[in-house]
Amino acid sequence: MASERPGPPTYLGKPTISPFPAAPQTTMPFLSSGPVVGSEGTGYRANTPSGSNGPPMSSPPSTYASPNVGVHQRFPSQQYPAPVQQISNLRGPPAGQPVLPPPVLPSAQQVLPPPGSFRPQPQIPSMPMGSPPQSANLQPPRGIVPSSPLESSFSAPRSALQSSLHGYPSNQANLVSQVPPMQSPSFLAPQGGYVPPPPLAAPVGLSSREQMQHPGVGPPVGAMQNLVEEFQSLSVGSVPGSIDPGLDPKALPRPFEGDLMPNSIAKMYPLNCHSRYLRLTTNAIPNSQSLLSRWHFPLAAVIHPLAEAPDGEEVPIVNFGPTGIIRCRRCRTYVNPYITFTDGGRKWRCNICSLLNDVPGEYFAHLDATGRRIDNDQRPELTKGSVEFVAPTEYMVRPPMPPLYFFLIDVSVSAVRSGMLEVVAKTIKSSLDELPGFPRTQIGFLTFDSTLHFYNMKSSLSQPQMMVVSDLDDIFVPLPDDLLVNLSESRHVVDAFLDSLPSMFQENLNVESAFGPALKAAFMVMSQLGGKLLIFQSTLPSLGIGRLKLRGDDPRAYGTDKEHALRIPEDPLYKQMAADFSKYQIGVNVYAFSDKYTDIASLGTLAKYTGGQVCYYPGFQSSIHGEKLKYELARDLTRETAWEAVMRIRCGKGVRFTTYHGHFMLRSTDLLALPAVDCDKAFAMQLSLEDTLLTTQTVYFQVALLYTSSSGERRIRVHTAAAPVVTDLGEMYRQADTGAIVSLFSRLAIERTLSYKLEDARNSIQQRIVKALREYRNLYAVQHRLGGRMIYPGSLQFLLLYGLALCKSIPLRGGFADVQLDERCAAGYTMMTLPIAGLLKLLYPRLIRIDEYLQNASAKIDDFGKFSKSLPLTMQSLDSRGLYIYDDGFRFIMWFGKMLSSDIAVNLLGVDLSTFPDLSKVSLCELDNEMSRKLMAILKRFRASNPSYYQLPQLLRQGEQPREAFLLFANLLEDQNCGTCGYVDWMLQIHRQIQQSA
């Protein structure tokens, strides 16, 4: 048999320049230059002990075809005569003469207004450039640049092209020259099936490699005014002695579209996992420590491993069978689309550590002429960034656990009178048929007041048997084998128990809470199997171990070094118990109900270290809040859950993860223990550079979540992504992800409140924003006349508003008088786990006027989008003749203007507002009229867009104090409230601080 002579290994072709479109060359006197990016090295950082280094990676072939690729397309705009001087260069300058870079077109998502005014252009030194054309083409710049009233010179006619957002300032035009089509190298298709997009060519006369080697090289100073401005800016031009701030509020950027996922990285690396699973704070990794030190934002990733995918985009399941899962034998990376095959398909090279691994015989496939496996398209693990592997028995330390739910329920007098006990019992019973894992599901109950109540639910019984333990100092578990039962076998006993539970304690007048002993007893029952513990707590723990003091919210502590002590657990027992729960694969969810202090700071610790969540219902009354509790508890019970899970994220050479933020227990330096995790939990982690300089051109990340499914199958969900390494600080800003940065900011600030004052946490956010924008301003201070303008990258246009919103959020706002301590702590626990989209909506909610739609008899629910224009969060957006909905993802606030038509209120509420009813006691339900049905359809649509929580409507009438002030006005973050500045003042304050040290 003839043997095939193995050729040199082929793999991903690495571009020699940044894979992003080439930006106009700028002079960057503050940019530290790095080395030329070379071929990928063989070093790596692995989480497991490594063996010998793999063979070095050879350079990609140097022979490329060079098709003509037009880099810049014509932007459709009206032609204007040049007001000062015509500048053109069709043939290019003589050798040695620098050339102005081509314009950078705006993204397809932005619609830019026409130029509003032109500045006089200084004379350009004459050069032998050939015959100029008869007119110069005007191309709008990349950013939104309002002209200052002090800088206007020549007026120009307006184009029919208008801005996409009303009130945004118009752009300044720049005179640019035409450039011929540019060359772009083609790349060799790698054997793994991944074809990276070719980098766009640099401007004529200055190659991209030269840009990397000499970042300070740019056009002459005399021509700098003609550079296309690739940033966005706001004119700040107040007149001395005037009360006018000089900043138009209508011109300020606002995220009316919510979370906008970046798409540039997906186009560059189409085999990446979807950004709903993994997002980086910047999709351009710095190549050096010095460059990272000038970034000033966290270099981090936000991971949402079990994010719900739309129908048709489910994560594919791969079962390798007896072959076993294909992994790198050194760094343990899972097979993914970025590995490459060589030696005729007999070996594969790891994309993270570069080691050559043998391909198992059962997995072998020949390579085609392009180096791809012939079965590549039939292998999801080689074509999809997200896959789920079925794990063999070696990935199990014990048999897969069954889904287990244990309920720890407070039955003291407050729990009974508020109706909490009845709602919980009915919701659990209605959800039993939908609990995942049938027929393996296990269930158990324990109730408590001043004593503990255990329930024997053995299938042979017709009614449950209650056993009371009153000795709180020496806890023991009676009948340990019959307290956890199989739901399918004991269903009739469980149903009987839940039917009788509310009436069983109906006359209970006990006000005590033996929560600590009950928690210990629950641990003793669950420790053999693990599972999910759901706690329903209505009273401050007062008996036995873990009893808590009524330390309350001390106003004297605010502003002192003792302030943070109010927000951390008082008793170390709760953190120790949380560690024990995590060790035995028990996840804890806390449901807290009280109108009095219950020390959420201590109780929430149980959820924080076990991957759970805290749900807080202050002043719970079943008639008002019952629907919200019913929905959120049912979702908790029925959503798909990953049991006894661990998660690790691997990354390439020179980069490592250092700190982690969220709800989990860190089992080792990089292994997150998650006893029970679901689709509503996200995690954040910060990166650092291990090496002074990165020698690779691409950094790979791989998230692996090993878990047990509710069906009893051990699985590994793997998300793989790639990001380019850059030498340009401007590129890092251009590829920044506002949502990921804000997610990191919120987690870091909330963690800071546990050690420092609230004011310190707010200042830390502001300082990092100022430092970053000051560094960004320095990049363009030489080339452009910035004057009184505040500049920022287009990718971060909403960051300042989100920074203000974060400082005004419940965990960080004000002081003693602004937020109840329990509410502050509960909001902090919630924000630590929120995915990016949910967090951004909470920080900047939607405010929509709906009365016009409701009164339009011909408008259907499908037409609602034409009426649902989001409004700025300011009192000026409210019209006393209107009806508005404020939606932050957790609640609806409906504001009825005092001059609103009385017919609308009667049709929607069934009451006349002119009689001044107490709207806090009016429940919103569907009435028998078309207007009411249309309103309920609107609310249903809003809830469907955010299914994680139930948005309970809170009704509010204009002038109804104090409810109007603390429910709505305190949340209109663009106004001055809670002793803090508004949006305009915040922008001016940031601008002044940037200029002070610029």
User: Is 223 part of a structural domain of the chain?
Assistant: no
- Cβ atoms 214, 222 nearer than 8 A: no
- Asked whether residue 480 falls in the same domain as residue 439, the answer is yes
The whole-angstrom separation of Cα 538 and Cα 598 is 8
- Asked whether residue 903 falls in the same domain as residue 787, the answer is no
Cis peptide bond N-terminal to 502, omega within 30: no
Q: For residue 732, give both structure tokens.
A: 């890092």
Last residue of a domain, one of 806, 837, 868: 837
Q: According to the model, what pLDDT value does residue 540 have?
A: 94
Element (H, E) at 774: helix 758-780
- Asked whether residue 374 falls in the same domain as residue 466, the answer is no
Output phi, psi for 383, to 5 deg: -125, -10
CATH of the domain at 337: 2.30.30.380
User: Is 860 part of a structural domain of the chain?
Assistant: yes
The whole-angstrom separation of Cα 980 and Cα 807 is 9
The whole-angstrom separation of Cα 538 and Cα 508 is 14
- Asked whether residue 451 falls in the same domain as residue 543, the answer is yes
SS3 382: helix
SS3 830: helix
CA-wise closest residue to 793 among 850, 853, 735, 745: 735
CA-wise closest residue to 161 among 113, 116, 115: 113
Q: According to the model, what pLDDT value does residue 559 have?
A: 79
CA-wise closest residue to 756 among 603, 597, 558, 571: 558
Q: According to the model, what pLDDT value does residue 109 have?
A: 39
Longest dimension (CA), the chain: 101
What b/e sequence results for 728-754 when a residue is b if at least 16 CB atoms lie within 10 Å of its CB, and e otherwise?
Answer: bbbbbbbbbbbbbbbbbbbbbbbebbe
Q: For residue 515, give both structure tokens.
A: 């929560």
- Cβ atoms 602, 570 nearer than 8 A: yes
Output phi, psi for 482, to 5 deg: -115, 10
- Cβ atoms 467, 483 nearer than 8 A: no
- Asked whether residue 833 falls in the same domain as residue 899, the answer is no
Q: For residue 484, give both structure tokens.
A: 């956890």
Quote the DSSP letter at residue 433: G
Last residue of a domain, one of 732, 753, 783: 732
Quote the DSSP letter at residue 264: H
Please list the alpha-helical segments (H only) found in 832-924.
Answer: 836-843, 851-855, 864-867, 902-909
What b/e sequence results for 543-556 when a residue is b if at least 16 CB atoms lie within 10 Å of its CB, and e otherwise?
Answer: bbbbbbeebebeee
- Asked whether residue 721 falls in the same domain as residue 741, the answer is no
- Model confidence over 436-464: pLDDT tens digits? 999 999 999 999 999 999 999 999 999 99
The whole-angstrom separation of Cα 947 and Cα 967 is 23
826: containing domain: 230-260+737-837
Residues of the chain with pLDDT under 70: 1-231, 233-245, 553, 782-787, 978, 997-998
User: Is 524 part of a structural domain of the chain?
Assistant: yes
- Asked whether residue 534 falls in the same domain as residue 438, the answer is yes
**Unique residue bearing structure tokens 């449950």:** 464
User: Is 209 part of a structural domain of the chain?
Assistant: no
- Cβ atoms 594, 620 nearer than 8 A: yes
- Cβ atoms 942, 629 nearer than 8 A: no
Q: According to the model, what pLDDT value does residue 918 have?
A: 85
CA-wise closest residue to 22 among 191, 159, 207, 153: 207
- Asked whether residue 815 falls in the same domain as residue 944, the answer is no
User: Is 17 part of a structural domain of the chain?
Assistant: no
**Residue 154: count of CB within 10 angstroms of its CB:** 10
CATH of the domain at 293: 2.60.40.1670
Environment class of residue 410 by beta-carbon count within 10 Å: exposed (0-12), middle (13-18) or buried (19+)? buried
CA distances (Å), origin 282, targets 262, 730, 733: 10, 11, 7
The whole-angstrom separation of Cα 842 and Cα 847 is 12
CA-wise closest residue to 512 among 413, 384, 614, 615: 413
User: Are β-strands 386-390 and 317-318 bridged in parallel, bridged antiparallel, or unpaired?
Assistant: parallel
Q: According to the model, what pLDDT value does residue 786 have?
A: 66
Q: What is the pTM of this model?
A: 0.78
The strand pairing partners of 861, in sequence order, are none
User: Is 145 part of a structural domain of the chain?
Assistant: no
User: Is 609 part of a structural domain of the chain?
Assistant: yes
Quote the DSSP letter at residue 697: S
CATH of the domain at 530: 3.40.50.410
- Number of domain units in the chain: 5
- Asked whether residue 874 falls in the same domain as residue 968, the answer is yes
User: Are β-strands 683-689 and 452-456 bridged in parallel, bridged antiparallel, or unpaired?
Assistant: unpaired
The strand pairing partners of 676, in sequence order, are 643
Please list the alpha-helical segments (H only) found in 911-967.
Answer: 930-945, 963-967
How far is C-alpha 390 from the geometric centre of its chain's CA atoms?
28
Last residue of a domain, one of 613, 639, 665: 639
Q: According to the model, what pLDDT value does residue 238 have?
A: 52
Element (H, E) at 603: helix 600-608
Q: According to the model, what pLDDT value does residue 497 have?
A: 97
Going by C-beta distance under 8 Å and a sequence separation of 6 or more, which residues neighbour residue 444? 404, 405, 406, 407, 455, 457, 483, 484, 485, 525, 526
Q: According to the model, what pLDDT value does residue 121 have?
A: 41
CATH of the domain at 822: 1.20.120.730
SS3 694: coil
Instruction: Count the helices and strands in the chain (H runs, E runs).
Output: 23, 35
User: Is 139 part of a structural domain of the chain?
Assistant: no
- Asked whether residue 354 falls in the same domain as residue 469, the answer is no
- Asked whether residue 665 falls in the same domain as residue 697, the answer is yes
- Asked whether residue 631 falls in the same domain as residue 648, the answer is no
User: Are β-strands 614-618 and 665-666 bridged in parallel, bridged antiparallel, or unpaired?
Assistant: unpaired
